[in-house]
Structure 1
Amino acid sequence: MLGNIEGIKDNLYTIITDSASTPYPAWTLGGLLLGRGLTIQKPMGPLSGTSGSSLRLSHTLATARPTKASCYLFGAAHLLGGWIVYDGDITNGAGFNFAWSTLYLIVNGRAGLKSVIHGRVNPLALSILALGNAGTYGKKFFWP
């Protein structure tokens, strides 16, 4: 039983380590960020008969992080980083993806954690995926 768990753990570690040599983690995060940028809603305007609290809620939800510009910028950067890895420059692509994943966490990480309080899990999931990319590509960049 214990040997089986060790084998599964070693196999999972190998899969995660080997995924840094592929563009798929970066493309996944980039695609999800671009998709999130396309689906962010604009705040609704003041309508007759609406209360002030619904207008504030609409503005709060629409201006929540990650913003549209942030999603497009980081999404495009991760797609480019994935292309660098796909093109064969694995070390530089891993460093590029590590840097942009870390920057995403600096800009949007705290808001991702706070979003759970407001009932939104998408920003938290994007932050967790960025953390995974930073760890995976960072290991490949610093310890090839």
Structure 2
Amino acid sequence: MSDQNPNDVSTPEVASVPPPNHNLALPIYSGHPLRYVYQLSTTPYPALLQGSMLLMAPYLSPQLPIQMVASNSTLAQRAGTAKNNGWFSPKVQDSMGPFARTKRVQNVGLSGRSALLFGLVSLAGSWMIFDDDLESGSGFTAAWSGLYLLLNGKASIKWLQYGKMWPLLVSGVALGNTAMYGRRFLTGGFD
């Protein structure tokens, strides 16, 4: 007979769940830069870089209020009273003459709300990858980085004329994150 008492009511043994790996080691450079960048998408570092750049944006590159100017011909075009003279529109003929009027003030640069939202979301994607959920983290980061590019990518190029380089750098990192995490998510390259 066995040593077990039939009246013994103990909890059965449950298989233990291994703790997350939290692999923070950078991949080994194999000689091919694109392959290395693809291997880098298994780490949370690119998403962490984007999140920290976005959270620093209001301090390193604050918004500038710019007074925009519109000429009389541009205002007439908006009102619908301008005449079109064939090849030359009134905007080209009259450019910015002495009767230029001011338009509303426009802010140039990343807004604080946009930087905070996309920065925190990028850090959340970085945390997902750090917590060994590479599939969800890479898809989440790729989607939000792509959304950031849709909303701020074209404007970051325009902001160069006002001396705003930081938003363009952030857009470059977002483009890289969209490409490498998106490729990892769409091709199913999970270990």
TM-score bin (small chain): 0.7 to 0.9
Mapping for residues 74-85 of structure 1, pairs under 5 Å: 74-85=118-129
1:136 aligns with 2:180: yes
Shift of 1:37: 2.8
- Confirm or deny: 8 A CA contact 2:63 2:109 kept in the other structure: no
Equivalent pair of 1:94/1:141 in contact (CA under 8 Å): yes
Q: Distance in 1 between matches of 2:155 and 2:63?
A: 19
Deviation, structure 1 residue 9: 9.2
Relative to 1, partners in 2 of residues 1:92 and 1:86: Cα closer, same or farther, differing over 3 Å? same
1:15 alignment partner, one of 36, 58, 71: 36
Shift of 1:14: 2.0
Q: Percent of counterpart pairs with the same letter?
A: 34
How far apart, CA to CA, are the structure 2 residues paired with 1:132 and 1:13? 11
**4+ aligned runs moved over 3 Å, structure 1:** 38-44
- Contact 2:125/2:140 (<8 A) preserved: yes
Q: Following the alignment from structure 2 to structure 1, what is the Cα–Cα distance between the partners of residues 63 and 164?
A: 16
> C-alpha deviations, 1:12-63, integer Å up to 9, x for none?
122101111000000001001001134454768xxxxxxxxxxx9xx64xx2
Q: Distance in 1 between matches of 2:56 and 2:41?
A: 23
Q: Which has the higher helix share?
A: 1
Assess if the C-alpha contact under 8 Å between 1:38 and 1:68 holds in 2. no
Partner residue in 1 for 2:164: 120
CA contact (8 A) 2:42 2:129 kept: yes
Please tell me whether residue 103 in structure 1 is matched to residue 181 in structure 2. Answer: no
Q: Indicate the SS of the match to 1:66.
A: coil
Aligned counterparts, 1:54-69, within 5 A:
60=106, 63-69=107-113
From the superposition, tell whether residues 142 and 77 of structure 1 become closer, same or farther in structure 2 (CA, over 3 Å). Answer: same
CA distance in 1, matches of 2:43, 2:49: 11
How far is 1:66 from its partner?
A: 1.6
What is the rounded CA distance, in whole Å, between the counterparts of 2:61 and 2:179 in structure 1?
Answer: 28
Q: Which has the larger radius of gyration?
A: 2
Equivalent residue number for residue 72 of structure 1: 116
Question: Which residue is equivalent to 1:33?
Answer: 54
How much is the aligned-residue C-alpha RMSD, in angstroms? Answer: 2.2
TM-score computed with the length of structure 1 as normaliser: 0.76
Alignment: residue pair count: 122
